[in-house]
Amino acid sequence: INTKLLNDPQKLGALLTQIPLARLGQPHDVANLAVFLASDEADYVTGSTFYVDGGLTWNYQEQ
């Protein structure tokens, strides 16, 4: 955890504007994906990349 970022409201606010869900991820966000992947519901999922980042990666624009 980047405590310098979390303790700086200006930096944190700037980051949150780039995340479509407008919040930082929590451990349960990753746990939910792990539970899904371990379930029978994911029995046909192979070779995939999952981003658990609130849409941050999707929101990147070309520089």
The domain that contains 29 carries what CATH number? 1.10.8
Q: How far is Cα 40 from Cα 15, in angstroms, rounded to an integer?
A: 36
Given a cut of 50, whether residue 11 has pLDDT beyond it is: yes
Q: Identify the DSSP state of 40.
A: G
How open is the CA angle 21-58-35, to the nearest 5 degrees? 65
Work out the pLDDT band at 1, boundaries 50, 70, 90.
Answer: low
**Residue given tokens 């849409």 in the structure block:** 55
Q: Which range marks the domain in which residue 45 is found?
A: 3-59
Structure-token pair, residue 35: 């539970």
- How many domains does the chain contain in total? 1
pLDDT value, residue 5: 85
Q: Are the beta carbons of 26 and 32 closer than 8 angstroms?
A: no
> What is the predicted pLDDT for the residue at 8?
92
- Tell me the whole-structure pTM to 2 decimals: 0.78
pLDDT the model gives residue 63: 43
Q: Is the pLDDT of residue 32 over 50?
A: yes
